[in-house]
Amino acid sequence: MLSSTMQAPVLLIGAAHVVDLNGPIRGVLAERTLDAIAVELDAERAGAILTPQPNAARGGNAPLFLRLWSTVQRRLGEQIGAGVPGAEMRTAADLARERGIPLLLIDDPIRETMGRLLRSLSFKERITLLVGSIIGLVVPTRIIEHQIDEYAEAPADYLEQVREAYPTIARVLIDDRNEHMATRLATMRSNGYGRIAAVVGDAHLPGLALALRRREVPVETLAFRELRGVKAPSAGSS
């Protein structure tokens, strides 16, 4: 397997955690031969999102920011139509199970990430993050949908604004994790999983692709704006 698949690119699929992408993801992967599917999850988040009853898996002892963001994502997912947050990760897990291939968890442990973030944030950034989380609980859904459409049209511009407004958050939550996920994907390829499709948040796509290329891993990307236009496979196809 190793010699025959190491030239295959890693397919990075950009998703939005509160948008239902079950059909498009299945459409993209319907005819693709894969050795494994990777997801932007760690063991804790996988246990919470991929369980048959994800509501029961929400821990009450998680950090405050994490609980707030989880609540915001759950609300937006319900109102926009994705159902539970992380629906795209559940689709990826379902596909791996249906095909009998491994599901690879490539993200950093969420508690370690949040710990690094909180230690790195200035007092002003902490207040900004807290206020943003609270606003997310009450902001009208139409505004969020408009923001998603704006991001899909010009993701680079949108991310640059985020970097200017929240440099520490961008470094810890995007840049650092990109490097760590790239290392894990490169290691998995060297262990024989040459043909990998990785479902990650769309904001990770450009940085993760660059990090993989620096590790001499060939990459193919499918951004969120392109993924939304993919049709679901017809009934009976895998």
- pLDDT tens, residue by residue, 174-223: 999 999 999 999 999 999 999 999 999 998 999 999 999 999 999 999 99
Range of the domain at 8: 2-227
* 42 class by beta-carbon count within 10 Å (0-12 exposed, 13-18 middle, 19+ buried): middle
- Is residue 120 in a domain? yes
Residue 233 lies in a domain: no
Kindly indicate the confidence band of residue 77, based on its pLDDT and cuts at 50, 70 and 90: very low
**Domain-located, residue 232:** no
CA distances to 27, 44, 134 from 152, in Å: 19, 29, 24
In a domain, 237, yes or no: no
Who contacts 74 (Cβ-Cβ below 8 Å, separation ≥6)?
84, 85
Q: What does the pLDDT look like over 116-143, one tens digit per residue? A: 888 898 887 777 766 665 545 444 445 4
Of 26-30, 38-42, 141-145, 225-229, which range is least confident?
141-145
Q: Is residue 235 part of a domain?
A: no
- Does residue 197 belong to any structural domain of this protein? yes
pLDDT of 1 over the 60 cut: no
- Identify the burial level of 143 via C-beta atoms within 10 angstroms of its C-beta, where 0-12 means exposed, 13-18 middle and 19 or more buried: exposed
Contact 11, 193 (CB under 8 A): no
Q: Which of 53-62, 163-172, 218-227, 229-238 has the highest mean pLDDT?
A: 218-227
In a domain, 144, yes or no: yes
Number of domains into which the chain is organized: 1
Tokens encoding 37: 């599917």
Higher pLDDT, 5 or 135: 5
* Residue 203: inside a domain: yes
Confidence grade of residue 5 (pLDDT, cut at 50, 70, 90): low
What is the model's pLDDT at position 6?
72
